[in-house]
Amino acid sequence: MSSSGWSTDGKTVQMFVNGDRTAQAEVYLYGAHVTSWQDNKQQLIFLSQKAKLDGTKAIRGGIPICFPQFSDAGPLKNHGFARISVWSVSASKSSPQQQDGSSVSVTFTLSPNDVSREMWNHDFLVDYKVTLAPGVLQAEWKVHNRNSELPFSFTGALHTYFAVNDASRAGVTGLTGLTYADKVRDKKTFTESDTVVRVPGFIDRVYASAPDSMDILDGDTPYIRVEKKNMSDAVVWNPGADNARKMSDFGDDEYHNMLCVEAGTIVNPVTVNAGQEWCSTMTLSKL
């Protein structure tokens, strides 16, 4: 008999599924930030040993929520304010509940705060539902425009840091033929010619109109599938040695053990009219 459930200490939410295949996940209320996803005891998400977990800066690793701006694609702070805000748990308000079956979902909610009003003065509500099941971690995020009249536009991404044994052997499939902006080459655009995008060291590419399913390879072995709905673009990032040394919350050698493959809406901002909502999903599957 499978059992599943969640608990919280007010700072983090621990989610679990127990059965013939166990799964666990951890989410910080700061940033609604997934910091761990273990499937059958294998850690699939990278978290820097030097990550700040005290709310003083964005958590390095896990799944940062980039909203309402992706990276430096606008006037706001890099990746916006969602990942540096404290979210609330909007699932059942009562004590943690056992949920039948072999999956558990917890929904986190963000509404305007002093930081967001300073940066981006809109009346918004973001719901972020994390679902854990054997072999699967899913994030569904909804952005509601609660302005009375004004539409708003945003860019964003789920900036997932995957744990890999050796980034130089990792790869990403599904990107062949796409146009990408290459931050390593002054954001000039190129067309992807490789069937498998490998990680030569520093890589930082925004692929436009990426497919809704991409596989991360460990060597030539399929490792994790990234599926997205209603997010048009994808990012592949590894800081490489030089940038790793410049990040105070990232170990000098940690770039060997992580690869970011991000689902996002980056190239063309999303516009949400007053009273409307935008919804997207990212599903990660252990292959």
Which sequence positions are flagged as catalytic? 159, 262
- Interface with ligand TA6, residue 265, by CB under 6 A: no
String of contacts with ligand TA6 for each residue 57-96, x by CB under 6 A: -x------------x------xx-----------------
| Among positions 13, 27, 214, 235, the unique one binding ligand TA6 when judged by CB under 6 A | 235
The closest alpha carbon to 206, from 73, 84, 46, 60, belongs to 73
- Interface with ligand TA6, residue 210, by CB under 6 A: no
- Interface with ligand TA6, residue 228, by CB under 6 A: no
Cα-Cα-Cα-Cα dihedral of 161, 72, 116, 137, to 10°?
Answer: -20
Structure tokens given for 76: 């706001």
Say how far apart CA 239 and CA 60 lie, in whole Å.
12
Q: How far is the CB of 250 from ligand TA6 (least distance, A)?
A: 8
Burial class (CB in 10 A: 0-12, 13-18, 19+), 149: exposed
Count of residues that bind ligand TA6 according to CB under 6 A: 11
- Interface with ligand TA6, residue 254, by CB under 6 A: no
| Among positions 159, 228, 256, 286, the unique one binding ligand TA6 when judged by CB under 6 A | 159
Specify the 3-state DSSP secondary structure of 5.
strand
8 A C-beta contact, residue 4 and residue 16: yes
Per CB under 6 A, residues contacting ligand TA6 are 58, 71, 78-79, 159, 183, 204, 235, 237, 260, 262
